[in-house]
Chains A and B, each alone.
Chain A
Amino acid sequence: MMTKNNIKDFIIDFFKESKIKEENGVLIISEVRKEVEDFLGKKSPYKLVFDINSHDKIKDSELIMQGSYFLLALRGFLLDKGNASIQKIVITPEIKDIKIGNYNITGIEQTNISYIAEFNFLTLFQYLNEKKQELNKIFIKGKEVVELDLNNFTVKNGVKEEIKEVDLLNEYNSSKKILLGSVNKEINSIKKYLKTKLSKEIERVKNHYFKQFKEKDEEVERCEEKIKLLKGKLKHTYYERDIMILKRLIRESESRLENLKKRTYKERLLAEEQFHINDEIEKHSLSVKGNLINATLYYYPLFTLNVLDKGKSKKIIYDPILKKIV
C-alpha cells in the first residue's frame, strides 16, 4: 500500500511537465499535454482531492486513493511506456582493488563491452472478486542469475550506438523458468484458499443431488412396496368389484414405477449436478496473467589485465561487475 504522500509524489512526477499548484489540500493540475488529456477523456485542469469529504464539497474534483479510477487511468496511460530501456554502468576499476587469485596485475585496459539483462515481470492473480499482483525483477547474464546491487555503481542512460545488436531470447527463457518458481508459490497459496471455498460449494451441490437421488430411490421403494401390498391383497380378494379396483391401483402404481425408473430422470439429475459443479469450478478458477513489463539492457566495459603468473606475463579478460575472469 502506498501512503497518501507517496501517491501525491507519483502524481506530481507524472504531471511534471504540467502546471501544478496546491490550494487547501487540493492539487490543481493544468496545462496538461493533449495526449494525456485525450487518454483520460477529460480536459484539464484536474482538481485532485485525497479524502472523500473534500470530494463531496469540491465540484468536479477527482478522488485520489489507492486503486482509484484516476490512478487506474494513469496506469493505463503508462501501460505500454518504458518497456525497453538501456543503461550504462560506468566502472573504472583500479589495479589495487582487483583481487584475482595470486596474480600480480601489472596493467589494465578496457577492451570490450558486456551485458546484463534486467527483466521485470508483473503477474496478476485474479479469482472470485479479488485481485493480487506480484512484481519480479530478475538480473540475468546468459543463463545465470546475477545478484546485482546497482547502488554500488554509477549508472546512467545508455547510448544505443555504443552497443551491437543484442538478442535476449535465451536470457528471457531462463528468467521465465526462474519466475515460474516464484509465481507457483503464490499460485499454490491461492489455490489452497480457493480449494477450501470450492470444496464447500461442491459439497453443497453434491449433497443436494445425493439427497435428490436418495429421495427418488425411496420413492421407488415405496412404490414397489405398495405394488407388493396390493398384489398380496389381490390374492385374497374374491369380489369382482374389489378385484377391478385393486387391478386398477396396481396398474397405476406400476406405471408410476416405470416413470420413476426411467433412465432420463437420473441422467437429467446427473447432468444438472455436473453443470452446477462445473459452474462452481469456473467461478472459483484462478486466472494468472504474467507479463514482461520491462527489459533493460545494462552494458559495461570488460578489461584486459596484464598479469604475471609464476613469473610469466599473460593477458586475461576481467569482468568488473561479476568480479571474475571471463
Chain B
Amino acid sequence: MKRPKSKKGTKTKAKSFNVDIKVMQSSTEDDLKILQNIKNKHFEDRKLFDLRLKSEEAAKQTEIKELISYPLIKKNLLYNLPHQQEGALRILRDLDGRALLADEVGLGKTITAGMVLKECIVRGFVKKALILTPPSLVNQWKEELLNKFNLDFKEVNNENEWATCGFAIASIDRVKNFNTLTNEFKHSKAHDIYWDIIIIDEAHKLKDKNTFRWRFVDKLQKKRLLLLTATPFQNNLIELYNLLSLLRRGHLGTISEFRESFLVNGNERQPLNPAELKRKLSEVMVRRRRDEVKGINYRSRIPKIISVELTWEEKRAYESVVDLLLVHYLDFNGEPINTNLAAYSVLPKITSSTKSSIEFLEGLVSNPKYHKSTQEIAQSLVEDFNSLEQDTKIEKLISIINDIDSNDKGTKILIYTKHPVTLKYISDILKKQKYNITEFAGGLTPLEKTQRINEFRNHSQILISTETGAEGLNFQFCSNLINYDLPWNPMAVEQRIGRLDRIGQKKNISVYNLATKGTMEEHVVDLIINKMCCIGLVMGELPIILFNMGLDSSGKTGTSKIEEKIMSAFLDSKNNLYRFAGDIGKVGNEINKGIEEYTLTKKYTTQLLN
C-alpha cells in the first residue's frame, strides 16, 4: 500500500474504504436427518413441535437489559452486590465487551468479570475463552470459576495444549516466554485461535509496549477483551496509553498526539487536560470507588505476636534437630543430598510441633536408606523429645484460647497448622480442656466438608485446619485466627487470613501468631505478619504487590520466589540467628519498597481517575 507523503502541519485524512461483513452459515446435515426420519416413518406427535415452537418464543433473548445468567450464580455468591451486576451489564451492553475494569481493590473484579463471562456463555456468544492471570492466582481463578460460575477452565502449561482447550486459563508469566532463536513466542499457538473473550487479570503489568508480555497479548485475536486492574497506571501516563492501545488502537490518538493533547510539555506524569482524558477513558473503562459502593464493610486485621519461651530442654532439642537438618541430615546414603530439598520438605515439620518433629525423626530412624550416623543422631533426638516434660507452645495456645474465651464467651476460633500430625495433637489436648472441636484436614469428601463447616458454624467453638483442607472456604462468622505454625510463604498466610477476611465479616480480625523466642521463626513471623499481611492492606493487595515485584511466580525449587528468599536466608545462615535476622531484614526492606511504590501508584491513579 502506497501512502501519501504529507507536509508538516497539513491535516490529512485516510482515504475511504469498502467494508464487507463476514457471514458464516451453518451446514444442512441435521436437516437431512429429519428428512430421513420422514422417509423411515419415524414420526413424533405434532404437539411436541407446537410445544417446541412456544419454547423458542419464550426463550428468545432480546437486547441485553439484564443478566439472564444471574439467577444461576446468585446461589453461589454469598452477597448480592449490585455494582458487580451493573458493571457486567455496562461492559456487555455499552462497551461491546471490550473494557478496562478498574474498580478499586476489594470490590470483586473477578466476580464482575465472571459475570460477563457467564452471561456471554449462557447467551451463546462465547465458545472459546482465555484467562491470563499472575502465576499465584491461577488456582484461585480456577476455583472461583468452578465454585461460583460452574465453569471448568483448563490450565495450559504446555504449548501443545492450546488446540484442545475451549476454556483455557494460564499464567501470563509462563505464556509470554519468547524464543529468541526461533524468533517466536513459545506459546504462539494461542495466537492461531480466535478467542471469543479474553480476560487479563492485574493488567497493569501490560504498561510497557516494548515487553514480550505486551506483545504476546497484542497478538491474540479476540472479539472481547477485559483488562482487570485497580491501578491502570503508576506515575506515568504513557503506561495508560499502552494499556488502552491493547483495547482500542488509536483511541487516544498516536503517541505524539497523546503527548500533545494530554501531557504538560510532554511530561509523562502531568496530565494536561484531565477532564478530557477522563471522558475518553469513560468510553472504555468501568471504575468504581470503595466509598461509593454500598454493602461492603472493610475490617481491620489486628496482629498479635505471642512469644513462646522454650524451656532449656526444649530449646536444646529444637537446636539439635535444626543442626541435624543443616549438617548431618545431608548424609543420605553416604552422599550429600540437595540442601534446598531437605530444607523445604523437613523444616516445616520440625518447626510445627514436638509431635511432628518426633514423626520426622522416627521416619529417619526406620528408613534404612539413611546413613547410620544420621539414624543414630535421630534416635537420640527422639529420646530427647520423648523425655520432655513440658510443651510450652501448646501451653501458650491453651492460654490464648482461654483468654479469647473469657473476653468473649463461646466466640469462634480457627486454628491453622501445616501438619495433620500437629492438628491431631492440638485437637486431643484441647478436647481434654473441654473445648468443642471440629477437625478439618485434607482428604475430606465435599459432603464431609459441608458437614464440618456446619458443625463449626452451629456447634463447636474451635476449628483446627490445615491449608489443604480449607482452600476456598468461607469462615466470615469467625474473627479469631491462630497460626499455630506459620508457612514461610506470605501468600499462604494471606490465604489463611482470607478465609475470615471476607465480605460479611462483622468484626475486626485478630490474627494470633505463636513465635518461638530466640529462633528464626520469630523473625519470619515478624516479616510475614507485621510487615506484609497485617499492615492495613485490603484483601487482594498483597498478591498484587508481590506480582508487581515479580515475587509471586515459582522459582527454581517450585515454590514462590518470596518463600525461596526466606528459605535461602535460613540455609545461608547455617543456624546463625544474627545473620538470619539481617537477611530477613533485607527482605523486609525490599517488600517495604514494593508497598511504597504500590501506595504511590494508588495515589496517582486516584488523583487522575476519581
B5, B13, B61, B64: the one contacting A207 at CB < 8 Å is B13
Query: Do B25 and A129 touch (CB < 8 A)?
Result: no
Determine the chain B residues whose CB is within 8 A of the CB of A62 once the complex forms.
Answer: 71
Query: Do A166 and B222 touch (CB < 8 A)?
Result: no
B58 at the binding interface (Cβ < 8 Å): yes
Query: Do B254 and A294 touch (CB < 8 A)?
Result: no
CB distance from A17 to the nearest CB of B (A): 12
A230 at the binding interface (Cβ < 8 Å): no
A270 at the binding interface (Cβ < 8 Å): yes
Determine the chain B residues whose CB is within 8 A of the CB of A65 once the complex forms.
Answer: 68
Query: Do B248 and A204 touch (CB < 8 A)?
Result: yes
Query: Do A207 and B62 touch (CB < 8 A)?
Result: no
Provide the bound-state CA to CA distance between A14 and B256, in Å.
63
Determine the chain B residues whose CB is within 8 A of the CB of A279 once the complex forms.
Answer: 221-222
| Count of chain B residues with a beta carbon within 8 Å of a chain A beta carbon | 76
Query: Do A286 and B43 touch (CB < 8 A)?
Result: no
A265 at the binding interface (Cβ < 8 Å): no
Given the known A-B contacts A14-B55, A122-B56, A210-B3, are A130 and B250 also in contact in the complex, defined by CB atoms under 8 Å?
no
B411 at the binding interface (Cβ < 8 Å): no
A72, A130, A169, A206: the one contacting B122 at CB < 8 Å is A72
Query: Do A285 and B58 touch (CB < 8 A)?
Result: no
A259 at the binding interface (Cβ < 8 Å): no
B506 at the binding interface (Cβ < 8 Å): no
**Contact code string A266-295 (vs B, CB < 8 Å = 1, else 0):** 000010000110110111111111111111
Provide the bound-state CA to CA distance between A278 and B194, in Å.
11
Determine the chain B residues whose CB is within 8 A of the CB of A221 once the complex forms.
Answer: 8
Given the known A-B contacts A71-B55, A135-B53, A157-B45, are A84 and B34 also in contact in the complex, defined by CB atoms under 8 Å?
yes
CB distance from B476 to the nearest CB of A (A): 20
A1, A211, A287: the one contacting B62 at CB < 8 Å is A1
Determine the chain A residues whose CB is within 8 A of the CB of B57 once the complex forms.
Answer: 2, 6, 10
B46, B54, B93: the one contacting A10 at CB < 8 Å is B54
- Least CB separation from A281: chain B residue: B22
A148 at the binding interface (Cβ < 8 Å): no
Given the known A-B contacts A84-B38, A279-B221, are A158 and B122 also in contact in the complex, defined by CB atoms under 8 Å?
no
Provide the bound-state CA to CA distance between A1 and B57, in Å.
7
Given the known A-B contacts A126-B124, A207-B14, are A286 and B23 also in contact in the complex, defined by CB atoms under 8 Å?
yes
Provide the bound-state CA to CA distance between A68 and B71, in Å.
9
Query: Do B223 and A291 touch (CB < 8 A)?
Result: no
Query: Do A286 and B17 touch (CB < 8 A)?
Result: no
Provide the bound-state CA to CA distance between A285 and B24, in Å.
8
Given the known A-B contacts A82-B45, A85-B45, are A191 and B23 also in contact in the complex, defined by CB atoms under 8 Å?
yes
B79 at the binding interface (Cβ < 8 Å): no
B31 at the binding interface (Cβ < 8 Å): yes
Given the known A-B contacts A172-B35, A204-B248, A205-B249, are A135 and B56 also in contact in the complex, defined by CB atoms under 8 Å?
yes
B24, B26, B69, B72: the one contacting A286 at CB < 8 Å is B24
Query: Do B59 and A286 touch (CB < 8 A)?
Result: no
A81 at the binding interface (Cβ < 8 Å): yes
Query: Do A158 and B43 touch (CB < 8 A)?
Result: yes
Determine the chain B residues whose CB is within 8 A of the CB of A172 once the complex forms.
Answer: 31, 35
Determine the chain B residues whose CB is within 8 A of the CB of A70 once the complex forms.
Answer: 71
B1 at the binding interface (Cβ < 8 Å): yes
B97 at the binding interface (Cβ < 8 Å): yes
A167 at the binding interface (Cβ < 8 Å): yes
Given the known A-B contacts A83-B34, A204-B248, A208-B250, are A13 and B54 also in contact in the complex, defined by CB atoms under 8 Å?
yes
B161 at the binding interface (Cβ < 8 Å): no
CB distance from B149 to the nearest CB of A (A): 13
A78 at the binding interface (Cβ < 8 Å): yes
B25, B61, B75, B249: the one contacting A204 at CB < 8 Å is B249
A314 at the binding interface (Cβ < 8 Å): no
Query: Do A270 and B44 touch (CB < 8 A)?
Result: no
Determine the chain A residues whose CB is within 8 A of the CB of B47 once the complex forms.
Answer: 82
Query: Do B221 and A294 touch (CB < 8 A)?
Result: no
A31 at the binding interface (Cβ < 8 Å): no
Determine the chain A residues whose CB is within 8 A of the CB of B51 once the complex forms.
Answer: 10, 13-14, 78, 81-82
Determine the chain A residues whose CB is within 8 A of the CB of B222 once the complex forms.
Answer: 279
B63 at the binding interface (Cβ < 8 Å): yes
**Contact code string B208-227 (vs A, CB < 8 Å = 1, else 0):** 00000000000101110000
Query: Do A81 and B26 touch (CB < 8 A)?
Result: no
Query: Do B43 and A85 touch (CB < 8 A)?
Result: yes
A82, A168, A198: the one contacting B49 at CB < 8 Å is A82
Given the known A-B contacts A68-B71, A75-B56, A215-B256, are A206 and B22 also in contact in the complex, defined by CB atoms under 8 Å?
no
Determine the chain B residues whose CB is within 8 A of the CB of A275 once the complex forms.
Answer: 219, 221
Known contacts A84-B42, A135-B56, A205-B250; 6 further A-B pairs (Cβ under 8 A): A1-B62, A78-B52, A120-B53, A126-B125, A210-B3, A288-B25
Listed in ascending order, the chain A residues whose CB lies under 8 Å from chain B are 1-2, 6-7, 10, 13-14, 55, 60, 62-63, 65-72, 74-75, 78-79, 81-87, 120, 122, 126, 128-131, 133, 135, 157-158, 160, 163, 165-169, 172, 176, 187, 191, 194-195, 198-199, 202-215, 217-218, 221, 270, 275-276, 278-279, 281-297
Q: List 7 A-B contacts (CB under 8 A).
A: A63-B71, A67-B58, A75-B59, A81-B49, A122-B56, A214-B12, A276-B249
Closest 10 CB pairs of A and B: A208-B250, A82-B48, A82-B49, A84-B37, A67-B61, A285-B22, A292-B31, A75-B55, A75-B59, A85-B46
